[in-house]
Structure 1
Amino acid sequence: MLRDAIRSLAEAKIAPHAALVDEEARFPREALDALVAADLHAVHVPESYGGSGADALATVIVIEEVARVCASSSLIPAVNKLGSLPVILSGSEDLKKKYMMPLAKGDGMFSYCLSEPDAGSDAVGMKTKAVRDGDFYVLNGVKRWITNAGESQYYTVLAVTDPSKRSKGISAFVVEKSDEGVSFGAPERKLGIKGSPTREVYLDNVRIPADRMIGAEGTGFATAMKTLDHTRVTIAAQAVGIAQGALDYAKGYVQERKQFGKPIADFQGIQFMLADMAMKLEAARQLTYSAAAKSERGDSDLTFFGASAKCFASDAAMEITTDAVQLLGGYGYTRDYPVERMMRDAKITQLYEGTNQVQRIVMARNLPGA
């Protein structure tokens, strides 16, 4: 029932704008309005803060179904969870009430500021600093590759509070778009997900109240890594959705396209391709759903399963979307058909929230027991 409702909304309100959003590289305002109206923009927010209180599996299904028609739009619920989860996991009760309630109402989106120009996979090497000044902290630095930057009203920002302590000297804060000293770079010119703006976030003597720290001083990096354990599952869901959209379109196309006097779907070579695509997709989906269940329970092996779901599903999505383009032949290579967009969009799922090479390192360090 949940899937049917989201699919109907996505096909009616989001899909018609997906190609133009990509072509114009503009934020999918229609998708945001539709998701907010249906209370699907941040379903993970607990009911105690005015949210839907959806569990991790339900959140995954929302993201998957939106990504099936528009990957850029799926980053609205996905990044709202990424940006706000540190507050849910580690924030004070006052902080949760202050920021989760407007997020639940749709009054503002949440983004996540971890990466920097010289600190990508090596996040501990970040240079953004937060210096205590009485009842305030003053933040200075640059964050890079920030999804929905400029559109979001709220930002979870990781900054160094004690350089001598490495990862234990990093703290997390909530910064608001309206805070004096916050500004944004030009949108990156990207291969895919063009409707989701990616910008640098500049922090120039941004003075915020000390009570906007998320958790205790020095615990920010641990919170950030714990957050990624959960949210890598949402990237897996996005990959599954993109792949499903590509498979659906390719399946329909090969039944319509005729060569040598019959639909190309009748040829065994085509059937083998479709079978392999469907097999990889279903394996990715089951791994993603299993990881979502572990996320909801807080299982001790979530780190492995979150990384493996993200890695496997994104690799599968890249293969499936590439095969979809192949099945459409020359048409697949044109912007008149959606599969080339899906192929471009799928690529980012192998890169963000840790490249798939990093995911394999994470998996190797957290192998589950027998």
Structure 2
Amino acid sequence: MNEYAIPESAGAKFQAAPLPFSRWDRLPGVKLGQVGAEPALPEITNDLQRTIHGFAEKVMRPIGRELDHLTPEEVICNTSRLWEFRNKYQELGITTQTLATFALEDLPAAVAILFEELGWGDAGLAVSAGVDLLPHYMAAKFGNEFVAKTYPETLIGCWGITEPDHGSDVLDSTGAIFQRGGNYGQPNCVAKITDGKVIIRGQKSAWVSNGPIAELCILYCAAETDKGIDPRRGAVLIVPLDALGVSKGKPLDKMGQRALPQGEIFFDAVELDIDHLLLAPEDYNKGVYAIHAEANALMGAIFTGVARSAYELAHAYAHERRQGGVPIIRHQDVAKRLFHMARKVEVSRAIARRVTTFNMMNGIPALHAAMFSKVTATQNALEVSSDAIQMFGANGVAREYPVEKIFRDARSSLIEDGCNEILAIKGGTLLIDPELLTATA
């Protein structure tokens, strides 16, 4: 892990105790630390932050920029530097098992900082690393030992849930977002559960992150039992993607996060032993809730890092670029814009850390809290990266400069893992207090 360690930030050194007022500078000026207005971190978390930041700077950024200029087919070919990233990330040893070695009180900050730093490095590669964890991480949360014993964590993971005819609505298994009289319609992917076997038919959409390169899928789909097909009482399965009957579509060509391979997965009568069934129909709603809470929390942390990367580039440029005979940061409007960019980064970081801590420490995670984090951080990432382009002026829209890529990467995030408008509707219904309704009836 030390290969990517970097020297300690030149930012603030936190004092053991506040300085007496008499020792303050006449005009105090305080530099924030590398992760903002953050008190001293535990040593293990601090070491993780420094290591991952060095990895993000030296590996992720250059590889992400190179992949951004390639076609989707070139990104996944065996000569692509995507595989260099994956090999070097694997050397860091970030697995479900290693995260479990953190003390419970240190784990939330460690996870939030890990994915913030990865997002700072490259949004698409960060999402790829995050979704990698999901098959094993969720199997462990569901109390399933079969996956860990059968499939190594070195396999590339993915999460198959959205379908050609069903986007964010598949994340709403309770139907909270549906208009009165609305109908889910025909599911695109169905798992038939029989004695000792599961047979999967259908497809998942082109938005499966890691889909074109994945080797192990945590699949959410409708279930067929002796009672028929009910998309609201589906199945959660672990599917090895080398199984007979699995095939993949071509990788998706998209505006942003081009380093993240996404594509369709097809299931043609894929037959698996019943051990691959993580959750049966009676637990499907809980399973959707659980993975969505985890995914939205990770998105909040990743896109905090994306916003921070745009802010830091703009901050540095504002000190270098001169207009009117002075660095542009001396102009009031530029200073004001930078302040609001920094404020949004701090807000995103605070809510990402707060939600991750609450959800890891609480008996049951709060999905609406995870939605707070995802919606806030992605919206702020879009706004901060847009302001960064404005700060760079005409240079901001040139591919020679990194901020236009960050803006494109951020734009996709308002749709990923549930579009923000749908999350707000769904999250609003989760705020309903049945006891208050009963009391006012």
TM over 0.5: yes
Equivalent position amino acid for 2:137 in 1 = L
Write out aligned runs for 1:91-170 (5 A): 91-99=143-151, 102-103=152-153, 107-123=154-170, 124=173, 125=184, 126-144=187-205, 145-162=207-224, 164=228, 166-167=230-231, 169-170=233-234
Asked if 1 retains the 8 angstrom alpha-carbon contact of 2:215 and 2:241, the reply is yes
Cα distance in 2 between the residues matched to 1:280 and 1:17 = 27
Q: If the length of structure 1 is used for normalisation, what is the TM-score?
A: 0.91
Compute the displacement of 1:151 (Å): 1.4
Choose 218-227 or 182-191, whichever is displaced more.
218-227
Cα distance in 2 between the residues matched to 1:362 and 1:303 = 10
Match of 1:7 in 2: 53
Q: If the length of structure 2 is used for normalisation, what is the TM-score?
A: 0.77
Match of 2:31 in 1: none
Match of 1:80 in 2: 132
Asked if 2 retains the 8 angstrom alpha-carbon contact of 1:129 and 1:140, the reply is yes
Equivalent position amino acid for 2:91 in 1 = A
Compute the displacement of 1:71 (Å): 1.1
Using a 3 Å threshold, how does the CA distance of structure 1 residues 183 and 69 change in structure 2: closer, same or farther?
same
- SS at structure 1 position matched to 2:309: helix
Cα distance in 2 between the residues matched to 1:5 and 1:368 = 42
Cα distance in 2 between the residues matched to 1:127 and 1:171 = 13
Using a 3 Å threshold, how does the CA distance of structure 1 residues 304 and 160 change in structure 2: closer, same or farther?
closer
Specify which of 96, 120, 140 is matched with residue 68 of structure 1: 120
Compute the displacement of 1:361 (Å): 1.2
Compute the displacement of 1:60 (Å): 2.2
Using a 3 Å threshold, how does the CA distance of structure 1 residues 118 and 208 change in structure 2: closer, same or farther?
same
Asked if 1 retains the 8 angstrom alpha-carbon contact of 2:212 and 2:263, the reply is yes
Cα distance in 2 between the residues matched to 1:95 and 1:301 = 23
Asked if 1 retains the 8 angstrom alpha-carbon contact of 2:389 and 2:404, the reply is yes
Compute the displacement of 1:62 (Å): 1.3
Choose 328-337 or 156-165, whichever is displaced more.
156-165
Following superposition, which runs of at least 4 residues in structure 1 exceed 6 angstroms of deviation?
A: none
Choose 330-339 or 25-34, whichever is displaced more.
25-34
Compute the displacement of 1:216 (Å): 3.3
Specify which of 282, 286, 296 is matched with residue 222 of structure 1: 286
Specify which of 397, 412, 433 is matched with residue 348 of structure 1: 412
Choose 173-182 or 214-223, whichever is displaced more.
214-223
Q: Root-mean-square deviation (CA), in Å?
A: 2.1
Write out aligned runs for 1:199-218 (5 A): 199-218=263-282
Gaps of 5+ in 1: none
Match of 2:97 in 1: 46
Compute the displacement of 1:96 (Å): 3.5
Asked if 2 retains the 8 angstrom alpha-carbon contact of 1:91 and 1:215, the reply is no
Cα distance in 1 between the residues matched to 2:111 and 2:365 = 20
Match of 2:261 in 1: 197
Cα distance in 2 between the residues matched to 1:132 and 1:35 = 37
Equivalent position amino acid for 2:197 in 1 = F
Cα deviations by residue, 1:286-334 (Å, 9 ceiling, x for unpaired):
0110010012113556222100110011111100000001100000001
- SS at structure 2 position matched to 1:166: strand
Asked if 2 retains the 8 angstrom alpha-carbon contact of 1:168 and 1:219, the reply is no
Using a 3 Å threshold, how does the CA distance of structure 1 residues 257 and 318 change in structure 2: closer, same or farther?
same
Compute the displacement of 1:215 (Å): 2.9
Match of 1:31 in 2: 85
Cα distance in 2 between the residues matched to 1:348 and 1:295 = 25
Equivalent position amino acid for 2:123 in 1 = A
Cα distance in 1 between the residues matched to 2:52 and 2:294 = 22
Asked if 2 retains the 8 angstrom alpha-carbon contact of 1:81 and 1:231, the reply is no
Cα deviations by residue, 1:250-293 (Å, 9 ceiling, x for unpaired):
11111111111111111010000000000111011101100100
Kindly name which structure, 1 or 2, has the bigger radius of gyration based on alpha carbons: 2
Specify which of 52, 64, 72 is matched with residue 18 of structure 1: 64
Cα deviations by residue, 1:22-77 (Å, 9 ceiling, x for unpaired):
1114252222122111113x3xx135xx9655834322211111111211211233
Cα deviations by residue, 1:144-172 (Å, 9 ceiling, x for unpaired):
11000121210011232237573553111
Using a 3 Å threshold, how does the CA distance of structure 1 residues 135 and 299 change in structure 2: closer, same or farther?
closer
Asked if 1 retains the 8 angstrom alpha-carbon contact of 2:348 and 2:380, the reply is yes
Asked if 2 retains the 8 angstrom alpha-carbon contact of 1:85 and 1:227, the reply is no
Cα distance in 2 between the residues matched to 1:143 and 1:73 = 21
Equivalent position amino acid for 2:215 in 1 = Q
- SS at structure 1 position matched to 2:50: helix
Structure with more of its chain in helix, by fraction: 1
Cα distance in 1 between the residues matched to 2:233 and 2:332 = 59
Specify which of 299, 306, 318 is matched with residue 235 of structure 1: 299
Using a 3 Å threshold, how does the CA distance of structure 1 residues 128 and 221 change in structure 2: closer, same or farther?
farther
Asked if 2 retains the 8 angstrom alpha-carbon contact of 1:159 and 1:172, the reply is yes
Provide the identity percentage: 24
Equivalent position amino acid for 1:46 in 2 = Q
